[in-house]
Amino acid sequence: MAEITAAAVKVLREKTGAGMMECKNALTEAGGNEEQAIELLRKRGLASAKKKEGRIAAEGAVGSYIHMGGKVGVLVEVNCETDFVARTEEFQQLIKDVAMHVAAAEPRYVSREEVPGEALDKEREIARAQAKNDPKNANKPDQVIDKIVEGRLNKFYEEAVLLDQPFVKDPAKTVNDLLTEKIASTGERISVRRFSRYKMGEGIAKREDDFGGEVAALIGGN
């Protein structure tokens, strides 16, 4: 049986819009033949999501998730094409799942496109310095260092970007894979537009002095 490489899975995913696992399974079943894999995905209704990317998703809903007895809260807006789909149980469950994921995984951006250029430059600079300071890379050419840097940037995306993160309820697929599945099953374009995550006390400066120190300071001032 032909070896199914990550590169082949990536190419098939880009051509069909299907999820990573669906693409891998299709390639495995097709013995590595890309055209047969595409045909399998089309028969399963998983290869049509890419065609819907250009359509307008102006409907949808805002959902929320509260965790840890009110310590963490999330608001998320998920869009689709029609109010009919927005009101379905499947779509409402998707919103809850995404909101719960945001609460647990703490993404900073929805997509890679939202990451500011200066933030990427900083991450790239740090990754390059780490790679060059690693004794294992002492004699490696710049091309190899560049690949190491890009690999670490992909790791950054997995940690900071919602669509790139492994889905908390099923780490075998990403949040983007989850959306792709819902696009295939509903027949509509679906996207996460924005989210806000709140953590109780976040950003509030903590008092460094304790009550005993405060009393001692008052006594000393008398």
Confidence band for 4, pLDDT divided at 50, 70 and 90: confident
What mean pLDDT is predicted for residues 32-36? 87
Q: Is residue 208 included in any domain, yes or no? A: no
Q: Is residue 217 included in any domain, yes or no? A: no
Same domain flag for 167 and 74:
yes
Q: Is residue 15 included in any domain, yes or no? A: yes
DSSP letter, residue 56: -
* Residue that has been written with the tokens 């976040």 in this structure: 202
Same domain flag for 87 and 193:
yes
Cross-strand pairs, 161? 109
Length of the chain: 222
Q: Which of 25, 32, 24 is nearest to 6 (CA)?
A: 24
Range of the domain at 29: 6-47
Span 122-173, pLDDT tens digits: 988 888 888 877 887 777 777 888 888 888 888 999 999 999 999 999 999 9
pLDDT of residue 139: 76
Q: Which of 14, 31, 47 is the last residue of a domain?
A: 47
Q: Which of 47, 63, 78 is the last residue of a domain?
A: 47
Cross-strand pairs, 167? 170
Q: What is the CATH number of the domain that holds 121?
A: 3.30.479.20
Sign of CA dihedral 177, 180, 182, 184: negative
Same domain flag for 59 and 83:
yes
What is the C-alpha separation between 168 and 175, in angstroms, rounded? 9
Model pTM score: 0.65
Same domain flag for 40 and 67:
no
Residue ranges in 19-172 assigned as alpha helix (H): 20-29, 34-43, 83-86, 89-105, 117-133, 142-160
Same domain flag for 20 and 72:
no
Span 84-125, pLDDT tens digits: 999 999 999 999 999 999 999 999 999 999 999 898 889 888
What's the total number of domains in the chain?
2
Q: 56 CB contacts (<8 Å, ≥6 apart)?
A: 81, 189
Same domain flag for 145 and 89:
yes
Same domain flag for 144 and 74:
yes
| Single-letter amino acid code for the residue at 35 | E
DSSP letter, residue 33: -
Same domain flag for 19 and 113:
no
Q: Is pLDDT above 70 for 209?
A: no
